[in-house]
Amino acid sequence: MTDDTVPGRLGLIGCGQLGGAIAGALLRAGVVPPLRLTICTRSGPAGPMAEVAGIVWTADPQAVAQGCDTLLLALPPMAGRALRLAAGGRLVISVMAGVTLAQLATISGSPRRVRAMSNPAAQSGMAYSPFYAPGLSDADRAVTRAVFDACGLTDEVPEESQMDVFTAVTGPVPGFVAYVAQCMQEYAQSQGVAPDTARRAVAQLFRAAGTLMADSERPPAAFVQEMLDYAGTTAAGLAAMQAAGLPAAVAQGLEAARQRCLTIGAPED
Ligand SMILES: NC(=O)C1=CN([C@@H]2O[C@H](COP(=O)(O)OP(=O)(O)OC[C@H]3O[C@@H](n4cnc5c(N)ncnc54)[C@H](O)[C@@H]3O)[C@@H](O)[C@H]2O)C=CC1
Ligand SMILES: O=C(O)[C@@H]1CCC=N1
């Protein structure tokens, strides 16, 4: 990756949990140098990016829209929906949950729009960042891929509806996985394991499980079936979890998150 992968000036509006992580990823990967990065927040320099020399800071989204060539919107969805940017024909990439491509047209007026999703694991290059961008030029697609390649894995999805699915499933990190880990730690503690021991053990389990599955082409179902076929202690636990409705509970939770995205993306009255 070279310093001109993102041509011109990149303007980031929002530098919090996600925007700051993406900015860190872009700088680390050399996709854009600090001298070609403008960051807009409500309150000036923020987070680790505040220590990076060369970045231009502003509290004026219009200054970003008119002074930059590519805009990356990483502010809260409701604040983003209220924005009106004189973005002209600039490339506008959004990672705002639920904000639709149609809303991005109203926000920016630009025909060059990307609806994307990422997560704070971008900081360490471990995010999954899908994007939806019908009609995007090859050049703009290359810039979009360069941005999200720096954050981890990326895919272009064929339907905008999938962006709400991914916002629910892969947007939160550690997100829902932390909830499962919490349940496992609390079980261990209920059996007399000391809290810090339980925490360390479960963290190591998720590190191992995540690495094993990420390094494999096998779907999670294959790992589960392998344990069921083994017919040992884990098989007994898996059968009990299925009988207790774990699959339905997970699906209900993810669907609730997806529905919240649809609420954000609903046309204003
Ligand atoms: N935090 C997360 O794990 C994830 C967040 N997202 C999305 O990323 C976006 C940002 O979320 P976070 O980084 O968590 O928020 P945050 O609250 O950590 O940071 C928000 C940033 O936006 C700035 N901001 C807010 N209103 C502004 C305005 N009117 N003009 C200019 N700057 C403004 C704030 O100063 C701050 O820098 C949201 O749309 C969220 O849905 C998506 C996936 C994961
Ligand atoms: O919870 C949220 O609203 C943000 C978007 C996806 C993950 N975190």
Least confident segment among 2-16, 74-88, 161-175, 196-210: 2-16
Residues 97-149 pLDDT 10s: 999 999 999 999 999 999 999 999 999 999 999 999 999 999 999 999 999 99
**Is 127 in the same domain as 257?**
no
The residues, any chain, with a CB within 8 Å of residue 237's CB and separated by 6 or more, are none
**pTM, to two decimals:** 0.96
Cα dihedral 72→97→139→61 (10° resolution)? -20
Structural domain includes residue 4: no
**Is 73 in the same domain as 31?**
yes
Q: Is the pLDDT of residue 1 over 50?
A: no
- Number of the ligand closest to the Cα of 127: 1
For ligand 1, pick from 17, 167, 261 the residue to mutate: most ligand atoms within 8 Å of CB: 17
- In total, how many domains does the chain have? 2
**Nearest one of 82, 147, 76 to 114, comparing CA atoms:** 147
Residue range of the domain that includes 254:
175-263
For ligand 2, pick from 167, 169, 260 the residue to mutate: most ligand atoms within 8 Å of CB: 167
**Is 155 in the same domain as 179?**
no
Structural domain includes residue 186: yes
ipTM surpassing 0.90: yes
The residues, any chain, with a CB within 8 Å of residue 10's CB and separated by 6 or more, are 26, 32, 36, 37, 38, 68, 69, 70, 72
Q: What is the mean pLDDT of residues 174-184?
A: 98
**Is 22 in the same domain as 123?**
yes
Structural domain includes residue 170: no
* Ligand 2 geometric centre to CA of 151 (Å): 17
Structural domain includes residue 167: no
Residues 243-265 pLDDT 10s: 999 999 999 999 999 999 999 99
Q: Which of 129, 160, 191 is the last residue of a domain?
A: 160
**Is 196 in the same domain as 148?**
no
- Please report which confidence band the pLDDT of residue 76 belongs to, taking 50, 70 and 90 as the band edges: very high
Q: What is the pLDDT of residue 5?
A: 77
Structural domain includes residue 268: no
Structural domain includes residue 166: no
Structural domain includes residue 179: yes
**Is 94 in the same domain as 147?**
yes
